[in-house]
Every structure is written in C-alpha cells, then in structure tokens.
Amino acid sequence: MPLFIILGFLSKKSVKRYNVKNPSPYIDRDISWLSFNYRVLQEAKDPNVPLLERIKFLAIYSSNLDEFFRVRVANHKNLVRAGKKTYKKLSFEPRQILKEILNIVNEQQEEFSQIIHNQLIPALKKKGIHILRFKELNDEQKQFSDAFFEDNLLPYIQPILLKEDKIKPFLLNGALYLAVLMRDKDENKKSFYYALVRIPTEHTSRFLMLPSKKQGEKELIYIDDVVRENIKDIFPGFQIIGSYSIKLTRDAELYIDDEYSGDLIEKIKKSLKKRNVGPASRLIYDREMPQHFVEYLKNVFDLKAIDIVREGRYHNNSDLMSFPDFGKKSLKDDDLPLIKYQTLESSSNIFSEIKDRDHLLFYPYHSYYSVVKFFQQAANDPKVTHIQVLQYRVAKKSKIMDALIFAVKNGKNVTVFIEVKARFDEVANLAWGEKLEAAGVKVLYSMPGLKVHSKMAIVKRVTSKKASYYMYLSTGNFHEKTAKLYSDFGLFTCDKRIIEEAKLIFNYINTKKKPKQDFKYLGVGTFNLKQKLIKCVKKEIAYAKQGKKAKIILKMNSLQDAEMIDLLYKADQAGVVVQLIIRGICCLVPGIKGISENIKAISIVDRYLEHARVFVFNNGGDELVYLSSADWMVRNLHHRIETMFPILDPKLKKVVKDILKLQLNDNRKARLIHFKKTNQYKSGGEQKIRSQYAIHDYIKQNKN
C-alpha cells in the first residue's frame, strides 16, 4: 500500500514531512488536482497572456472549481458523514484531506480576488474598459440601469423573507442570490431581518453595457449591482443595512447502482432529476458579510463550518467566459488558423486515401473536417453497408450525428454506442440517443458496471462482393466544438491487424460476450490494457539492468494508479529515463532522492487543453508508440472500456515523437512537477519554445 502524502503545493507552507524510506510516496489525487487548477490561475495572472484571455482563464478556473466541489469535495464530505467504520479501510483520512483542500482553496480564492482587483481591473481601465459600481454611475447611466431593472429583472425576482425556524427556502444549485440584512424603519425596533433575492442570470447577460461617459470608452456593470441598488424598492418597509452575494453548490454525483439487471437508462434519468437537489457541498459567501449573518445562514440551511467558503463580492465567475470583447482583437490571442489536411479534405474518395496509407491528424492544429467528411462520405457512398461508432461526448449540434441519421435514410446499417454516464453530458447524450433511435439507428447504451470511454468508428464497404473496413481511432471525443479547443490525435487506418481486434471490442459491447481471443496490438481497458503497459515498463527495466538504453515518455491527463506509479519508481531506480507530461492529476512524486530523483515531469497549460494520451517505450531500439483514450487512473485501467492503439507507420511515429519533443522542450508554458518546485515555470534552453505555437508551425510545414 503506497504512503499517501499531502504537499502544500499552493500554500505558502513548506512541504509536509513524509517517510522517504517508504518506496511509494504518493500525492493525494485531489490535492494534486488543486495544483493543476492553480496552473490555470497562473495563466490569469501572467502579464504576457493577452488581457481578455486572462479573464477567460479566471472563468475556467472558477468552472473547474465548481465541478470539483460538486463531485470530489462532495464525495469526501459523504465519507466524513458516513463515519470511520465506513472508510476505515481507505488508505487516506477523508477529514484530513478535506481540511487541506479547504485551506488550499481559501488561499487560492484570496489570490483570485487579488488578481481581479489589483491586476485585471486596473489593466482593463488602461484599455478604456471600466467595470463600474453603482455609485460611480452618472445620472444617465443610473436611469438606464433602473429602466433595465424594471423591464428585464424585476419580473423574475422573488424575494424571500427568512425565518430561521419556520422558513427554510431551497436554494437552487449554482444560482446567485443576494442575502439581505435589514431593520424595520421604525426606529424603536432594533432587531435584524434577513431575506434572499435571487439574481435572474438565466434571463440576461451577467454584464450590462452602459451608455459611456466618454467617446471610445466602454463601461459596464454587473447585474448583481443593479439588483443590489434596487433592493430598497423590493423591501419598501425596511431599512437596508447591507446585501451580500451567496451561492450554494450541491452534490452532483449520480448514485446509481451498477447492477447487471434493471433499466440503467431509467435509473440515470431519475438520478439526473435529483442532481440539483443533492446535499450542499459548499456555500460561498461574500467575505464582507457580518459573522452573525453567516451563522444565521448556517442554521437556516443546516450547514457545518466545513460547508462554507469565503469569497469576494461576485460569485459564479465562470460567467467571465462571456465577458464582452468590444471587438478588441489586440486583447486576445493571435489567430492560429486551422491547417487543412489536404490529402483527405481535397479527395473525392476519402476511403481510397485511407486504403493507401494511415493518416494521423492532430487537433486543433488540423481542421476537424476530415473526421466530419469521413462520416458524410460513408453516409452517401452506395458501397458502404455498415457504420459502427463508440461515442462518449458529442456536440449539441453535430454534423457527425446528422450524417449517421442520413446514413440510415440511405439504407445503411448504423450502430451507435452512447455512454450516458459521461458526467455532466448525460442529458445531451440521452437526447442524441433518442433522436438517433427515432431515425432508425440501432442505439446501445451504457453497460452496467463499466464505462465505455473508447472513441472509435468502423465503416464497412463492399466492392465486388469483397468487404473492406476503414477505421478512425482517437484520443478525444467525436465533438466538433471541443475539437477546436482540445489537443487530440486521430488516426485513420485500414490496417487489418488493428481493425480485426477493434471488431472484438464492438462485438463485446454489442453482445456482452467476452472475446475468445487475446488482443495483440491493442490495449483494451478491463481486458489487457494494464497488463500490456506493465509489460512495456518491465521490459524497459530489464534493458536498463542489462546496461542498454531504456526510456519511457508518457503524456496523459492524469497519473493516479498506485501500482503503475510504483513501477515507474522502480524504472527510475533501475536507470530507465522517465519523462512525463501530465496536464492534471499527478500522484507520482518526482525528484525524491533514491526513489524518483531522475524522473522529469512537466505540465503544460496554454490556450489549448492538452488532452492527448501518448505512451512511448524505447523497446531496445524498436520503439513502441501508442495513442490512447486512457489515463493511468484506477478507473481507466480497471473499470472502463478504453483503447490504446499503436502507431505502426515509421513516418507517423516520427511525427508523434517530434511533437512530444517540442512539448518536453517547452520553456514558456511548461510547469515543473516536483516535490520541491511544483508549478514553477520551466526555464532554460537557448531559445524560447512555446510548444503549442511550435507545434502549429511544425504541422503547417508538414501538412500531410
């Protein structure tokens, strides 16, 4: 059992002590995740990042944290509530982890506020963009905001007068409220009154554009402040002492028994209805709120001290994603034009090109049109008889899904597996499932006990009574929108070695019967994926012990599986060169003398979300290069259908390795993951390398 440790990555404290004699030091996954989210916050305070992009990173940070509280923090609180008898077999103490999480988040929230008020607001002012408080408005602006309140906000406002023992209103998850502190206008009555007013953000933008005082200047106000100023008209019989914003985050995890009987889809639909009424996992409140008001709200909503978090004046900062840009392109990232993959995009027959050779694309540098075209041509091609797809997340408006519906109308046999347990995309996936079924597509839904996380498609074409198969495999989803934001590899292939094994996966999902033959080329989650990875690492260890070159490069979102981490420690101790590019969770602890001192680990946070999983093993000089849908987490390696697929074409292997080399050499956006230096920007090198821009240049020069 590995030793769980907590590192004070984001606090100003020194690293906490741990027993370095233990062969398996291990960072708690949630503490490590907070370290990742801090990297997002670092982008918001980086003066080299364009101003409006910095605001966007604040929105991403805030959105990430909301989901973290709804899922991970809620889970820890449930464990604490269940008591030690329930969690005594765990290798960590939930109460201790929860305390550390809240300490780190509180420190981050202080820094978040400082970034907004001390950096971004002054920087916006210099660019002629002013976020005003109501007292800063002139008469014309006040009249404008008052009229906006009456016409657009007042009809949706439902004030609630609180009575601690009698009126306990239900707060909607993630909704913004003003908690209002009042006194009776009768001077003889000194007692306080408490009320709530919901800010109707679902009916309007969070930001109200105001008539400007100066030509060329842009002025706006939070609608929170518009409502705040008009509260006196909502409670005419009271003297308003103060109003303070609050927001409640509720437990969002779906508690669905993974049974092998019963209607799983119906269970999910019922659980979705409960998601926004789950127990409170966090109450955020304005740090200016008087303590007696905080205590009053704790009693009204039955909250404990661990359930409340102090923040600034404004919550739901994910709304900053819609902060107006005023057409100021100079305050945003330069355009990185999508690069056409000419061989596929310009071809009149995409299947002949795939039959000729494998094609590797890397999004969002390459245009995603090749993938859309693959499905559109399959839908129209009279020689195509069957299309099978495994999809995890898909765009709300999807040309791919539209093509599959059109394919059915053209008489093709179309089967789509839809994973409705894809967190926060359950509703969208269910909606697409119903739409596809209505069109005649054979739809398969989630498997009890497993998530299907593979992203693959197979097209069958019949010419002269001979069947040919064409395949697309990816590290990312069939999602046209996120393909512009997430970096992922996609492989088109006709290679029979891969396709024959991929058919076994489709057959298993279709029939629930386990394959009778082993996978040789593919690594498949729950079958052989982990064993295949272990074998690859152990071979490198054996080469190192023989004095031969041994090297492992791993790129993924998360590294959490304790057994795999322990094996990487052994690889380092044996002399294997281990290089890691981990975007998010990294439970491995690099840099510990005698354990992991030579393991080099970085994380890259930049304009695109690093989402691809790539595993490279030197293999005695006959390099193995794999792409995968799977991270090295317990859930991916044990409880999901994942696919790890090899790159067999030597030229394409070189492309993958070249891209990894650029990322490993990044000294602009790479942060160190190290037990002493976590989140310090990597420096050094004769030239500045920002890998995402360098990759764009590389792909532009090697379009096909």
Task: Give the active site residues.
Answer: 453
Taking a C-beta distance cutoff of 8 angstroms, is the pair 356, 381 a contact?
no
Which of the 8 DSSP states describes residue 613?
A: E
Q: What is the rounded distance in angstroms from the CA atom of residue 81 to the CA atom of residue 75?
A: 10
Q: What is the rounded distance in angstroms from the CA atom of residue 667 to the CA atom of residue 301?
A: 48
Taking a C-beta distance cutoff of 8 angstroms, is the pair 588, 580 a contact?
yes
Closest CA to 470 of 384, 399, 391: 384
Q: What is the rounded distance in angstroms from the CA atom of residue 412 to the CA atom of residue 394?
A: 21
Question: Up-side HSE of residue 138: CA atoms within 13 Å toward CB?
Answer: 7
Using CA atoms, how far residue 700 sits from 23, 300, 695, in Å, is 45, 60, 8
Taking a C-beta distance cutoff of 8 angstroms, is the pair 377, 371 a contact?
no
Helix, strand and coil content of the chain, in percent to the nearest 5, comes to: 40, 25, 35
Q: E strand or H helix at 39, and its extent? A: helix 29-45
Degrees, nearest 5: CA angle 502-504-506? 75
Helical ranges in 593-702 per DSSP H = 634-638, 650-664, 691-701
Tokens of 384: 């195509």
Q: What is the rounded distance in angstroms from the CA atom of residue 376 to the CA atom of residue 197?
A: 50
Omega prior to 364 cis, within 30 of 0: yes
Q: What is the rounded distance in angstroms from the CA atom of residue 339 to the CA atom of residue 329?
A: 21
Q: What is the rounded distance in angstroms from the CA atom of residue 697 to the CA atom of residue 688?
A: 14
Closest CA to 112 of 47, 61, 49: 61
Which of the 8 DSSP states describes residue 555?
A: E
Taking a C-beta distance cutoff of 8 angstroms, is the pair 509, 447 a contact?
yes
Helical ranges in 46-165 per DSSP H = 51-68, 74-82, 84-87, 94-114, 121-126, 139-148
Q: E strand or H helix at 230, and its extent? A: none
Side-by-side strand order, sheet with 308-311: 160-162, 192-198, 176-184, 238-250, 280-286, 308-311
Q: What is the rounded distance in angstroms from the CA atom of residue 503 to the CA atom of residue 580?
A: 32
Q: What is the rounded distance in angstroms from the CA atom of residue 588 to the CA atom of residue 565?
A: 6
Using CA atoms, how far residue 327 sits from 128, 222, 688, in Å, is 13, 20, 30
Enumerate residues 6+ apart whose C-beta is below 8 A from 508: 514, 515, 641
Query: What are φ and ψ of residue 473, in 5° steps?
Result: -125, 145
Tokens of 689: 């390398």
Collapsing DSSP states into helix, strand and coil, what is residue 668?
coil
Closest CA to 524 of 394, 630, 383, 391: 630
The total of other beta-carbon atoms located within 10 Å of residue 271's CB is 16
Q: What is the rounded distance in angstroms from the CA atom of residue 691 to the CA atom of residue 261?
A: 49
Taking a C-beta distance cutoff of 8 angstroms, is the pair 413, 386 a contact?
yes
